Structure 1
Amino acid sequence: MIPSHSHATSDYWVVVPAAGAGKRMGANTPKQYLPIDGKPLIAHTLENILSWPGLKGVVVAISADDEVFATLECAQDDKIQTVIGGAERADSVLAALEYLSQHQSPTTSVLVHDAARPLVSTDDIHKLLSAAPMALLAQPASDTVKLAGAESCVRQTLPREQIWLAQTPQKAPLGTLLQALQRGLDENPKAITDEASALELAGHAPELVAACRSNFKITHPSDLVLAEALLRHRSGGASSGNNL
C-alpha cells in the first residue's frame, strides 16, 4: 500500500535541465526552442511551472552559448534563475543542484522537471507534492510489455503490473539528491538515466505517483503536433474545468 502524507510540500524549487540539443528531433534548432502554438516549447513548460502552488523558484540550466533564453518573456520572471549546464542531462541537473546548495538548506525540496514536458497537469503536481519526500510522477504500463532478445525477437513477456514508465517532475530533498547524483556520476554514470535512478543507487526507494497520459516527453516531430493539439484543447476547455 502506498503511504499517505498529510502535509504537502511547499517552498520548493524546480530544476529544469535545458542545455541539450534534442538530436532525435532532427532539427537545427535545440528542441526546447521549437515553436508550439506560437511559443517556444520551454516557454510553455516554464509558464506551467510558474503556476504550481507553493513554488519558491526555478533554476534553468542552459548551454554556455545559449543566446535565446534571455529573450523569452517568461525568463524575465523574478522566480527564474539560470546556470550553465553540462554535456549530459545529469550534468545540467548537478550544476543546478550545486548552485542551489549554496543558497538553500539541504532539506529544501527540489523537483526536477524536463523542459520537454509542457503538459503536466496541476492535479498531478498536487499529488506529487502530497507524496513522500522522495517521489516521481510515472505512468503505469497499460500495454503488454515484451522483453526483446536477439534480432528484436520476443524473449519474454513481463508482468505489466510491475512496469511503470518514469516521468517528471521527480522530487527529493536537495542535499540527498545532490549527494546521490554526485556519487552516481562518479561510480556508475551510465546507470544515471534520471534522478530516481541516482536515488535508487544510493539505497533509496522513491514513491511512484500515477500521472496523466498527457505528461509525455516531446522527443519526436510527431510529438509536437500532439502537444500543440492538447495545449489548444486545454486553452479552449479552461472555462469548463477540463484538465487533460
Structure 2
Amino acid sequence: MSDASYQGPAFWVVIPAAGIGTRMRADRPKQYLELAGRTLLEHTLDCFLDHPALKGLVVCLAADDPYWPRLRCATDPRIQVADGGEQRADSVLSGLLRLAERGAREDDWVLVHDAARPNLSRFDLDHLLMELADDPVGGLLAVPARDTLKRAGADGRVRETVDRAVIWQAFTPQMFRHGALHRALADALVADVAITDEASALEWAGQSPRLVEGRADNLKVTRPEDLDWLRQRWAGKR
C-alpha cells in the first residue's frame, strides 16, 4: 500500500526494549542480535520510521544499555528514549510519559510493538490503523489458532482439548488511546495484576479490544530457531 492511498489515523509508537531474552541463549539481549547485517531492533524501528502518519517514537531501554549507543539510529531525531522497567508494563508506562512530554494527547493513538518482532509488513500496519481508526477501544494484530490445542494438567498429561475456533494468538502492534492505555496499565500495576500485554490491561479495565487478523509471519524472535527461520526467509531479499 502506497503512502498516497493511506487514509488511517496519525499515531505514536512505543517499543519496549529493556528485556534480556534468556531463551535465546545469546551473549546479548535478543533485540541486538544480527539479522541481514543489522540488529533486530533496527529492522523493527524501520517498520515505523518512514510511515507518513508517525508523530513520534520512543524506545524504552534498560539502564546502562551498552548496545543502543552503537547503533546508527541512536542519533535519529525521530527517536526518543525512555527508561525501561523491570516488567513490560513499567517500560510501556515510561514510554507513554515520554510521549506526553513530546505532546501526545489523551485521545491520540499509541502503537506498542515488540522490539524483537522485525517482520511486520507495511500492509498489516496500515490495515490495523485503518480498521481501528474509529474504534472506541482499540485492538491488536492477531492470528487465529491453526493447530489443535491441548490443556495440560500438573502431571504433564492432556486434561482436555480446547476449542481452537475461539482462540487467537496475540501479536503486536497493539493500538490504544494514550490516556486509556496509561490509566489501565497504571491501575493494574497498583492492583498487582499480572499484565502480559497491553490488551490484557484494557481487558482488566473492563474493555474488549478488537482482534485484527494479520500475517502469521509477523513472529516474535524468542528462540534460536526463530532467528534462523528469519535469516533463511530474508536471504537475498534485503
TM-score of the pair, normalised by structure 1: 0.89
Q: CA deviation at 1:9?
A: 3.8
Q: CA deviation at 1:31?
A: 1.0
Distance 2:79 2:233 in 1: 25
1:141 corresponds to which letter in structure 2?
A
Q: CA deviation at 1:19?
A: 0.8
Partner residue of 1:146 out of 124, 140, 150: 150
Using a 3 Å threshold, how does the CA distance of structure 1 residues 34 and 203 change in structure 2: closer, same or farther? same
Distance 1:10 1:231 in 2: 30
Q: Is the 1:35–1:41 Cα contact (8 Å) retained in structure 2?
A: yes
Structure 1 residues 114-125: aligned runs within 5 Å: 114-125=114-125
Distance 1:232 1:75 in 2: 26
Unmatched 5+ stretches in structure 1: 1-6, 236-244
Distance 2:107 2:27 in 1: 40
Matched residue SS, 2:215:
coil
Q: CA deviation at 1:232?
A: 3.0
Q: Alpha-carbon deviations, 1:15-66, whole Å to 9, x = none?
A: 0000111111111211111111211110111112213341111100001111
Distance 1:71 1:43 in 2: 11
Q: CA deviation at 1:157?
A: 1.0
C-alpha root-mean-square deviation of aligned residues, in Å? 1.5
Q: Is the 2:116–2:220 Cα contact (8 Å) retained in structure 1?
A: yes
> Which residue of 2 is the match for residue 179 of structure 1?
183
1:194 corresponds to 2:197: yes
Instruction: After superposing the two structures, state which structure 1 stretch, 72-81 or 116-125, moved more.
Output: 72-81
Distance 1:53 1:230 in 2: 27
Instruction: After superposing the two structures, state which structure 1 stretch, 58-67 or 126-135, moved more.
Output: 126-135
Q: Alpha-carbon deviations, 1:92-135, whole Å to 9, x = none?
A: 11110122223321111000000010001111111110123411
Aligned structure 1 segments of 4 or more residues deviating by more than 6 angstroms: none
Q: CA deviation at 1:233?
A: 5.7
Instruction: After superposing the two structures, state which structure 1 stretch, 68-77 or 143-152, moved more.
Output: 68-77
Partner residue of 2:211 out of 208, 213, 223: 208
2:201 corresponds to which letter in structure 1?
A
Q: CA deviation at 1:8?
A: 4.9
Distance 2:7 2:183 in 1: 24
Q: Percent identity?
A: 46
Matched residue SS, 2:222:
coil
1:21 corresponds to 2:15: no
Unmatched 5+ stretches in structure 2: 1-5
Using a 3 Å threshold, how does the CA distance of structure 1 residues 9 and 173 change in structure 2: closer, same or farther? farther
1:78 corresponds to 2:77: yes
TM-score of the pair, normalised by structure 2: 0.91
Distance 2:159 2:7 in 1: 43
Q: Is the 1:47–1:74 Cα contact (8 Å) retained in structure 2?
A: no
Distance 2:44 2:234 in 1: 11
Q: Is the 1:110–1:174 Cα contact (8 Å) retained in structure 2?
A: yes
Pairs aligned (count): 228
Instruction: After superposing the two structures, state which structure 1 stretch, 28-37 or 194-203, moved more.
Output: 28-37
1:45 corresponds to 2:44: yes
Q: Is the 1:52–1:125 Cα contact (8 Å) retained in structure 2?
A: no
Matched residue SS, 1:152:
coil
